[in-house]
């Protein structure tokens, strides 16, 4: 029997995930322009039973309010969902799902990679060689910062924060301190060599590296601001693979220029794909284009998670990752 429910994928996915979606539904993939324009959204809401958006889709209000809407579920491709107004979706009868769990390791790997890159000058060293500036080994050339044995502060101790702690503690012998909105079981923290502190400030004051793993949204917007950057140690580094707006980028640029902190590794930005121009010329900042979950295995698994949620919904079951 041919599929009866129509699904729109708003951005091209890995082939395996799209092919799997096609075995269950009639599927169209929006190839561009990206992100999907508001007028395309309006038509899609009338024509499709489900839409699978991504983080680049800042959904227009029509998604929630449009009369005659056919779409019943948004299968978000990603764990973060601050681009979706969850309350408005619920009030309008739209179900929203996400893809937790499957991108934990890839994002934690990226966080550790950024930490190493900025601490040891790996990106800058690469360009130093490519630009023909390297004249040979020297005992004082481009000295970085030791990572092994240092203190890592983690803000947000969910799946990804804990995965980061595991890599840092068992791989690099780092001491782990963290802040989380809720209490983490003592046994879980101790198993990761981690200690929970009562405030963000308490973490910032003692950490040599600070890695952000908190959700985006109004509650965490500019969580790291000028006051909190000033509470970090001058030799400390900030790593962000969470959401760009968690950091006040104006304040971060000022702190990096003034030497308030030693450096930063950023995978996300407040106004993607725009990058704050003040960051672009800084040599103590490593910039990546939102690659946290960017492995073929992970992006495929994310798509398969969306399929799983949509299949459950259209069978009349509760989607496993409903928000």
The domain over range 104-287 is classified in CATH as 3.40.190.10: no
**pLDDT tens-digit map of 15-64:** 999 999 999 999 999 999 999 999 999 999 999 999 999 999 988 888 89
Three-state helix/strand/coil letters over the chain? CCCCCEEEECCCCCHHHHHHHHCCCEEEECCCCCCCCHHHHHHHHHHCCEEECCCCCCCCCHHHHCCCCCCCEEECCCCCCCCCCHHHHHHCCCEEECCCCCCHHHHHHHHHHHHHHHHHCHHHHHHHHHCCCCCCCCCCCCCCCCCCCCEEEEECCCHHHHHHHHHHHHHHCCEEEEECCCCCCHHHHHHCCEEECCCHHHHHHHCCEEEECCCCCHHHCCCECHHHHHHCCCCCEEEECCCHHHECHHHHHHHHHHCCCCEEEECCCCECCECCHHHHCCCCEEECCCCCCCCHHHHHHHHHHHHHHHHHHHHCCCCCCEC
Average pLDDT over residues 266-274: 96
The pLDDT score that the predictor gives to residue 2 is 65
The pLDDT score that the predictor gives to residue 1 is 55
The pLDDT score that the predictor gives to residue 317 is 98
Active site residues: 243, 272, 290
pTM of the model: 0.94
Task: State the average pLDDT for the chain.
Answer: 96
The pLDDT score that the predictor gives to residue 172 is 98
Residue 166 has pLDDT above 90, yes or no: yes
Q: Around Cβ 66, how many Cβ atoms within 10 Å?
A: 16
The pLDDT score that the predictor gives to residue 62 is 83
Same fold, 6-102+296-315 and 104-287: yes
* Confidence band, pLDDT 50/70/90 cuts, at residue 182: very high
Phi/psi for 76 (5° steps) reads -70, 130
| Per-residue tokens: 156 | 């947000």
**pLDDT tens-digit map of 63-113:** 898 888 999 999 999 999 989 999 999 999 999 999 999 999 999 999 999
Task: Report domain extents, the chain.
Answer: 6-102+296-315, 104-287
* Confidence band, pLDDT 50/70/90 cuts, at residue 3: confident
The percent of residues in the chain predicted with pLDDT above 90, rounded, is 94
What CATH number belongs to 6-102+296-315? 3.40.50.720
């Amino acid at each position: 029997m041919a599929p009866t429910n129509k699904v729109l994928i708003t951005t091209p996915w890995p082939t395996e995930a799209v092919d799997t979606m096609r075995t269950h539904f009639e599927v169209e993939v929006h190839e561009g322009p990206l992100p999907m324009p508001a007028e395309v959204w309006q038509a899609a809401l009338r024509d499709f039973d489900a839409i699978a958006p991504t983080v680049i889709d800042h959904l227009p209000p029509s998604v929630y309010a449009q009369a005659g809407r056919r779409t019943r579920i948004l299968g978000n491709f990603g764990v973060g969902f601050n681009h979706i107004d969850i309350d408005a979706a619920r009030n309008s009868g739209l179900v929203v799902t996400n893809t937790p769990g499957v991108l934990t390791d890839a994002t934690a790997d990226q966080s550790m990679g950024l930490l190493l890159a900025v601490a040891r000058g790996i990106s800058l060293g690469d360009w130093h060689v490519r630009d023909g500036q390297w004249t040979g080994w020297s005992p004082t050339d481009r000295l970085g910062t030791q990572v092994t044995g240092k203190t890592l502060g983690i803000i947000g101790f969910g799946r990804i924060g804990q995965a980061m702690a595991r890599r840092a503690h068992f791989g690099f012998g780092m001491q782990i301190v963290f802040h989380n909105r809720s209490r983490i079981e003592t046994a879980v923290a101790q198993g990761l060599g981690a200690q929970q502190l009562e405030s963000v400030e308490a973490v910032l004051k003692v950490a040599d590296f600070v890695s952000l793993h908190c959700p985006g949204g109004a509650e965490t917007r500019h969580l790291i601001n000028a006051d909190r950057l000033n509470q970090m140690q001058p030799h400390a580094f900030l790593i962000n693979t969470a959401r760009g707006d968690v950091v006040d980028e104006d304040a971060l640029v000022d702190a990096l220029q003034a030497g308030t902190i030693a450096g930063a590794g950023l995978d996300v930005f407040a106004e993607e794909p725009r990058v704050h121009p003040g960051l672009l010329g800084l040599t103590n900042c490593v910039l990546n284009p939102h690659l946290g979950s960017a492995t073929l295995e992970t992006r495929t698994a994310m798509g398969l998670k969306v399929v799983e949620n949509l299949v459950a919904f259209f069978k009349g079951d509760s989607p496993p990752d409903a928000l």
